[in-house]
């Protein structure tokens, strides 16, 4: 699925909107899908929900032009390939849900600059690398769900910067490093899931002690 044809003609907001809606109509017609949820707020498309639609292909870099999006849900499809860096332009995003796809490559560093994010899920993809928190500014992030990927490390003191984090899920990955003590500085944390990794018991015990 390529969003190219959806997004030509970005002119005035009205033209933008009309071309968008026509594009969506063509898309739906083409795919014979129903259930698309588009929320419009003050005359602008505010959330794009294309979850559970059996879409495949790569995620188009042109999605980055929809800078007004507050919610983007592409969960439970068959998107593969890398996350296009153009998504960094989605500065208003509060929800990014790419769970249950087949995305691969490293979790990109630019994720850390989507500072409006509240809920972020990459659950069940093939994303690898080190969770890139060193330049992050995700002070509003409440849910970070990275379960069931190929992530190797969160060895980063900066995780303590996720001041609003309530749920941190990194189970079913390849974590083999030391859990940073900084996790014990996450004062809002309600749920932490680290099962099915290669962490040692000592690291887990030390984490518990720190938390108490």
Alpha helices in 81-141 (DSSP H): none
C-beta separation of 141 from 114 below 8 A:
no
Shortest Cβ 201–ligand NAG spacing (Å): 21
Residue 181 makes contact with ligand NAG by CB under 6 A = yes
Select the residue interacting with ligand NAG from 28, 88, 92, 126 (CB under 6 A): 126
Any contact of residue 157 with ligand NAG (CB under 6 A)? yes
Note whether 85 and 63 are within 8 A (CB): no
CA–CA gap between residue 105 and residue 59 (Å, rounded): 13
- Dihedral of CA atoms 53, 58, 64, 66 in degrees, nearest 10, equals -30
Is residue 169 at the binding interface for ligand NAG, with CB under 6 A as the rule? no
Owner of token pair 């330049």:
135
Site string for ligand NAG, 46-85 (x = CB under 6 A): -----x----xx----x--x-----x---xx---------
Is 109 among the residues that bind ligand NAG (CB under 6 A)?
Answer: no
Sign of the CA dihedral running 129, 130, 131, 135 = negative
CA distance 120 to 97: 6
Report residue 71: phi and psi, to 5°: -135, 130
- Does residue 206 touch ligand NAG according to CB under 6 A? no
Binding to ligand NAG by residue 136, rule CB under 6 A?
Answer: no
What element of type H or E holds 48? strand 44-49
Nearer to ligand NAG by Cβ, of 76 and 152: the residue is 76
Residue 11 or 25 with smaller CB distance to ligand NAG = 11
What is the contact surface with ligand NAG in residues (CB under 6 A)?
7-8, 10, 51, 56-57, 62, 65, 71, 75-76, 94-95, 97, 99-100, 102, 115, 118-119, 121, 124-126, 137, 139, 143, 145, 157, 160, 181-182, 185
């Amino acid at each position: 699925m390529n969003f190219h044809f959806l997004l030509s003609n970005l002119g005035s907001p009205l033209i933008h909107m009309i071309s968008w809606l026509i594009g969506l109509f063509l898309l739906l017609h083409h795919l014979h899908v129903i259930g698309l949820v588009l929320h419009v707020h003050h005359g602008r498309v505010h959330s794009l929900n294309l979850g559970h639609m059996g879409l495949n292909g790569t995620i188009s870099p042109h999605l980055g032009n929809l800078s007004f999006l507050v919610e983007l849900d592409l969960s439970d499809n068959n998107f593969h390939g890398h996350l296009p860096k153009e998504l960094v332009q989605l500065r208003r995003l509060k929800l990014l849900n790419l769970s249950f796809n087949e995305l691969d490559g490293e979790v990109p560093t630019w994720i850390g600059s989507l500072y409006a994010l509240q809920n972020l899920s990459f659950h069940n993809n093939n994303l690898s690398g080190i969770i890139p928190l060193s330049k992050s500014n995700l002070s509003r992030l409440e849910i970070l769900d990275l379960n069931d990927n190929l992530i190797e490390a969160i060895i980063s003191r900066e995780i303590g910067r996720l001041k609003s984090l309530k749920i941190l899920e990194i189970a079913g990955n390849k974590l083999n490093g030391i859990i940073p003590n900084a996790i014990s500085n996450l004062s809002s944390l309600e749920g932490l899931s680290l099962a099915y990794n290669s962490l040692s018991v000592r690291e887990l015990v030390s984490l518990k002690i720190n938390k108490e």
